[in-house]
């Protein structure tokens, strides 16, 4: 009886189907078991992207091209992507929405804010001196692209990075104006700012090596703690989601 059953074609079909489902489930739960697809970045594409965006910095262009192609390749894996440029732009926005949804952070509790406050005392103390890194873009570069480079790129490797050492808020105010003074004072240590436009140029700023005075009471800086927590945790979550996406692919340059 058993031998007769196992010879039935329907039984063979069910067994093969179960094995295929098991393999699919296993590889999706364990991405390391899934064969990685290659993404090839062409130097010609870098040149085209430079013309489209106005960005001249090769390292940042590479980061942005890698970001674009990774999202579009992921869209293709979902059966969404077409070669039409307009459709690709729409798909990029869709995939960015998915990436942001994956990286969404929950509203912090008061305990989480107090923990963050204690872990980052320099950000909530009187700022006396610090180092300032500056990255400048021309005015024709879209600030939205600069923002993506800020989040997903490696700005430390970018060209023409200006570094000022042992500066004060007063010297920042004299060089760039009072508005930037306020922005720099609110910037967490070792995080690049959002794009800031000054005299028809777009800038990103990073504060490091803070020298500070006394720590301000939590009740006095609670609003700043909340804003900084969201700013830093959002970037961390987005980079984590992006890193997970990139782990599915092998990046090559030709």
For residues 203 and 135, the answer to whether their CB atoms sit within 8 Å is yes
Looking at the structure, tell me whether residues 102 and 221 fall in a common domain.
yes
Report yes or no on 196 lying in a domain. Answer: yes
Report yes or no on 253 lying in a domain. Answer: no
Distances (CA, A) of 135 to 41, 66, 159: 25, 20, 9
Looking at the structure, tell me whether residues 9 and 65 fall in a common domain.
no
Report yes or no on 82 lying in a domain. Answer: yes
Looking at the structure, tell me whether residues 3 and 96 fall in a common domain.
no
| Domains of the chain: total | 2
Looking at the structure, tell me whether residues 56 and 120 fall in a common domain.
yes
Report yes or no on 177 lying in a domain. Answer: yes
Q: How far apart are CA 122 and CA 209, in angstroms?
A: 10
Looking at the structure, tell me whether residues 157 and 72 fall in a common domain.
yes
Residue 232 scores a pLDDT above 90: yes
Report yes or no on 252 lying in a domain. Answer: no
Looking at the structure, tell me whether residues 181 and 88 fall in a common domain.
yes
Looking at the structure, tell me whether residues 8 and 106 fall in a common domain.
no
Other C-beta atoms lying within 10 Å of the C-beta of residue 111: 8
Looking at the structure, tell me whether residues 16 and 87 fall in a common domain.
no
Residue 171 scores a pLDDT above 80: yes
DSSP secondary structure letters along 112-132: HHHHHHHH-GGGGEEEEEEEE
pTM for the full model?
Answer: 0.73
Report yes or no on 159 lying in a domain. Answer: yes
Question: Which residue segment(s) compose the domain that 205 sits in?
Answer: 39-246
Structure tokens at 140: 């024709």
Q: Report residue 109's pLDDT band, with 50, 70 and 90 as the boundaries.
A: very high
Sign of CA dihedral 172, 177, 182, 187: negative
For residues 163 and 209, the answer to whether their CB atoms sit within 8 Å is no
Looking at the structure, tell me whether residues 77 and 150 fall in a common domain.
yes
User: 150: burial class by Cβ within 10 Å (0-12, 13-18, 19+)?
Assistant: buried
Looking at the structure, tell me whether residues 31 and 147 fall in a common domain.
no
Report yes or no on 131 lying in a domain. Answer: yes
Q: Report residue 46's pLDDT band, with 50, 70 and 90 as the boundaries.
A: confident
Looking at the structure, tell me whether residues 236 and 146 fall in a common domain.
yes
Average of per-residue pLDDT values in the chain:
81
Q: How far apart are CA 233 and CA 106, in angstroms?
A: 10
pLDDT tens readout for residues 73-99:
877 776 655 565 655 666 666 667 666
% pLDDT > 90, the chain: 44
Residue 236 scores a pLDDT above 80: yes
Residue closest to 244 by CA, chosen among 126, 70, 123, 114? 70
Looking at the structure, tell me whether residues 91 and 213 fall in a common domain.
yes
Report yes or no on 109 lying in a domain. Answer: yes
């Amino acid at each position: 009886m058993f031998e007769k059953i196992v010879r039935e074609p329907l039984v063979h079909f069910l067994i093969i189907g179960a094995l295929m489902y098991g393999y699919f489930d296993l590889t999706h739960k364990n991405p390391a078991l899934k064969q990685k697809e290659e993404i090839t970045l062409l130097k010609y594409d870098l040149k085209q992207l430079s013309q489209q965006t106005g960005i001249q910095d090769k390292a940042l262009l590479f980061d942005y091209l890698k970001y674009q192609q990774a999202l579009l390749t992921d869209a293709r894996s979902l059966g969404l992507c077409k070669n039409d440029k307009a459709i690709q732009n729409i798909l990029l926005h869709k995939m960015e929405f998915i990436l942001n949804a994956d990286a969404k952070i929950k509203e912090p509790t008061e305990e989480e804010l107090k923990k963050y406050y204690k872990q980052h005392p320099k950000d909530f103390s009187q700022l006396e001196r610090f180092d300032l890194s500056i990255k400048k873009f021309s005015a024709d570069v879209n600030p939205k692209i600069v923002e993506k480079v800020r989040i997903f790129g490696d700005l430390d490797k970018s060209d023409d990075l200006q570094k000022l050492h042992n500066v004060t808020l007063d010297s920042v105010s004299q060089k760039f104006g009072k508005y930037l003074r306020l922005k720099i004072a609110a910037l967490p240590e070792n995080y690049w700012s959002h794009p800031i436009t000054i005299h028809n140029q777009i800038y990103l700023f990073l504060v490091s090596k803070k020298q500070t005075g006394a720590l301000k009471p939590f009740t006095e800086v609670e609003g700043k703690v909340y804003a900084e927590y969201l700013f830093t945790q959002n970037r961390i979550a987005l980079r984590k989601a992006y890193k997970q996406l990139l782990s599915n692919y092998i990046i090559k340059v030709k």
